[in-house]
Amino acid sequence: MTTFDVVVVGAGAAGLLAATHAAERGRRTLLLEKSARPGLKILISGGGRCNVTTTKLGRELEAQFGARRGRFLRHALRAFQPPAVRAMFEAAGVALREEDLDKIFPVSQKARDVLDALLRIASAAGVELRRGVAVQDVERQANGFRLALAEGEVTAASVVLATGGLSYPKTGATGDGYPWLRRLGHTITPTFPALAPLVVETGWVRELAGIVLEGVDLSSIGADGKVITTRRRPVLFTHLGLSGPAPMDLSGDVEEAGGARVRFDFWPEQNREAIERGWLEHARRHGTQRAESLLPRELPERMRATLVELAGAGGTLANLAQKPRRRLLELVRGLPIDVPRSRGYAHAEVTRGGVALEEIDARTMQSGKVPGLFVCGELLDIDGPIGGFNFQAAFATGRLAGLHA
Ligand SMILES: Cc1cc2nc3c(=O)[nH]c(=O)nc-3n(C[C@H](O)[C@H](O)[C@H](O)COP(=O)(O)OP(=O)(O)OC[C@H]3O[C@@H](n4cnc5c(N)ncnc54)[C@H](O)[C@@H]3O)c2cc1C
């Protein structure tokens, strides 16, 4: 049996950083990856281009994860801000550049370059990486841990678990870490697919397949009618429902609620009374025009026609009665759509829920239940929106674990 100072389980973004930092401290470090191809999720991320991090910093960065999760991540993110992630890649020969929505991508547009750099950095630090080795269980021993493998076992003074969540199971993320951690005394909060396209059964939504909206607000609405999350990011209508950054960002809320309502605001910057005054004035001057002419010009024609139809506001402005006009205004400022579910884990970029944060030391990623045990990356109850936030969190928590394991 082989003994190591540190065994890291899972060679994704979090595990690669954890192993690198442990090895750089002179710890004899083994990184076990069940897939023959480590970092598979990095390769398929960002449409094969890998959005490694964001330009957002400090509080604004932390806020992306919500108040509670952001508070937990504060130490990790402040100790390894996006500029430090960028510097790590640039030093490894991967030039980066900024794109829309504050995203950072490799100039080469190749996720392969990102993964190769991480593997090179780990190897240079002295990490021993074993591919195609699935850990089957993790147990405490008198002086550390025993890890059961398909063939044989290894022991270690410290263990870092970085097995990821449940999303895109074909990449190797099949929730293996949850039962081990439960047996070791940890709480696993309920898990849900997040950052997945939304399934909508309403006919008119599917008929709009192909249109893209920008500059509109999309909100998830709780059972109490209150807004949970609002996003002003692109929305794509598809033959199955809604996709693109805003709908995907809201999918975790929809799943957590077991189905929810989302609401569009097509004219978020405008004051309601000002719109109504403008409409009356427009109708007075252009009575022969149709109600579509009242709607923001930036909206695609098919979207405008649908809004008018839903409001029952067809015909000329001269004949538009107050009731359908008011109804049109209601829809422009708050068109509701019922969303029964997202497309699930097979299409979800991340998992919401995981190891309860109260049980992990936010300054070290060490378990508060089992000394010598560390947890990082998506396995934790952490998920961020689209935009490089999930890699940023995985890198930062992985690094902290490696610095203390
Ligand atoms: C399609 C897609 C696109 C994405 N795009 C982006 C993006 O552009 N930007 C961004 O920030 N985020 C993106 N994400 C999210 C991001 O990829 C994840 O949040 C991040 O990879 C999580 O890293 P991790 O190391 O915690 O887990 P993972 O990357 O899931 O790594 C876990 C590793 O553990 C291994 N493992 C699991 N069980 C065992 C076991 N029993 N024994 C040994 N090894 C095991 C797995 O094989 C896997 O390699 C995307 C995700 C997907 C699915």
Does residue 33 belong to any structural domain of this protein?
yes
pLDDT band at 44 (very low <50, low <70, confident <90, very high): very high
Q: Whose CA is nearest to atom 37 of ligand 1?
A: 163
Asked if 233 and 201 sit in the same domain, the reply is yes
Q: What is the CATH number of the domain that holds 61?
A: 3.50.50.60
Domain match, 289 and 361 both: no
- Residue 2: per-residue pLDDT: 83
Is residue 188 included in any domain, yes or no?
Answer: no
Residue 176, pLDDT > 80, answer yes
If asked whether residues 210 and 157 sit together in one domain, one would say no
The rounded distance, in Å, linking the Cα atoms of 132 and 147 is 15
Number of domains the chain is built from: 2
Q: Is any atom of ligand 1 closer than 6 Å to the C-beta of 251?
A: no
Last residue in a domain, options 343, 371, 391: 343
Domain shared by 13 and 158, yes or no = yes
Range of the domain at 392: 2-183+351-404
User: Would you tell me how many other CB atoms lie within 10 Å of the CB of residue 59?
Assistant: 11
Tell me whether residue 58 is in a domain.
Answer: yes
Same domain, 338 and 366: no
Same domain, 358 and 395: yes
Beta bridge partners of residue 158, listed in sequence order: 6
Confidence of residue 219 (pLDDT cuts 50, 70, 90): very high
24 and 170 co-located in one domain:
yes
Do residues 318 and 297 touch, judged by C-beta distance below 8 A? no
Q: State residue 62's pLDDT score.
A: 98
Helix axes 82-91, 111-125, angle to 10 degrees: 80
The finding on whether 10 has its CB within 6 A of some atom of ligand 1 is yes
What is residue 1's predicted lDDT score, i.e. its pLDDT? 65
Answer whether residue 147 shows pLDDT above 80.
Answer: yes
Domain match, 245 and 171 both: no
The answer to whether residue 190 is domain-embedded is: no
Examine the domain organization and report whether 369 and 339 are in the same domain.
no
Closest CA to 335 of 224, 260, 245, 261: 261
From the CA of 53, give the closest atom in ligand 1.
Answer: 11
Query: Whose CA is closest to 311, among 333, 287, 283?
Result: 333
Q: Is residue 398 part of a domain?
A: yes
Q: Among 32, 45, 101, which residue has the most ligand 1 atoms within 8 Å of its CB, making it the best to mutate?
A: 45
Q: Average pLDDT in the 180-190 region?
A: 98
C-alpha 44 to ligand 1 mean position (Å):
10
The tens digit of pLDDT for each residue in 114-133 reads: 999 999 999 999 999 999 99
Burial class of residue 338 in the structure, from the number of CB atoms within 10 Å of its CB (0-12 exposed, 13-18 middle, 19+ buried):
middle
Q: 172: pLDDT confidence band, cut at 50, 70 and 90?
A: confident
> What tokens does 276 get?
């109504």
Residue 112 Cα, ligand 1 centroid: separation in angstroms? Answer: 14
Scanning the structure block, which residue is given the tokens 């999930």?
Answer: 390
**What is the pairing mode between strands 241-243 and 198-199?**
antiparallel
Last residue of a domain, one of 343, 368, 392: 343
Q: Are residues 258 and 276 in the same domain?
A: yes
Residue 271 covered by a domain:
yes
* Protein residue with least CA distance to atom 51, ligand 1: 349
Among candidate residues 290, 311, 343, the one where a domain is terminated:
343
Q: Which helix (H) or strand (E) holds 234?
A: none
Averaged over 56-62, what is the pLDDT?
Answer: 97
Statement to judge: residues 339 and 356 lie in one domain: no
Is residue 189 situated within a structural domain?
Answer: no
Ligand 1 neighbour 163 (Cβ under 6 A): yes
Both 361 and 266 in a single domain?
Answer: no
**Edge-to-edge strands, sheet with 96-99:** 53-54, 103-106, 96-99
pLDDT at 338: 98
In a domain, 191, yes or no: no
